[in-house]
Each structure stands twice: as structure tokens, then as C-alpha cells.
Amino acid sequence: MKSVLFLALLGIFPAATLAQSGRVIPCECRDTFGNLHDVGEQVCLTVGGRSFMARCAMAQNVTIWRDTGDTCLSS
């Protein structure tokens, strides 16, 4: 009975059962100056008077900055 109900629901909601379109959606992080960085890039961020190296990463379905634990490099 459950399988019949499941198959009936597939017929009612076909769009929900289709795979993603394969379209690539760019995922980027924005730094404190408004610049965009790709996932995996590392930059020096200054937040609240503290400077640190951070990596742009994904957490569930959003981009975030993760503190790498390293200090910013000076040139």
C-alpha cells in the first residue's frame, strides 16, 4: 500500500522527483571590502579589530568564512 501511495505521489509531483538540471551555480564568499572569493580561497580578514586568515567554505547550502588558525602574512 505504501509503495502504491509513493508511486501516486510521484505522478502528482513530477518536478520534485527530477534530478537537478546540472546547471552550475557559482558559490563565492564576500570579504569585508565587498570583494568576491571562490570556495577554497584563503584571505586575510579583519573583523572587530582582529586580523586572521580565513578560507571560503561551504556549510550546508551557504558559503562561510572559516578561521584557519593562521596569522595574516605581511609583505
A 10 A CB-CB count for 45 gives: 17
Q: Pick the residue with more confidence: 23 or 65?
A: 65
pLDDT digits (tens, 9 = 90+) for 21-38: 777 777 899 998 999 999
Q: How far is CA 63 from CA 4, 37, 42, in A?
A: 40, 10, 13
Domains and CATH numbers, the chain: 23-75 (2.10.70)
> How confident is residue 20, by pLDDT bands cut at 50, 70 and 90?
low
DSSP 18-59: SPP-------EEE-TTS-EEETT-EEEEEETTEEEEEEEEEE
Q: Is residue 54 a contact partner of residue 66, using CB atoms and an 8 Å limit?
A: yes
* Percent of the chain clearing pLDDT 90 (strictly above): 56
Beta-bridge partner residues of 52: 45
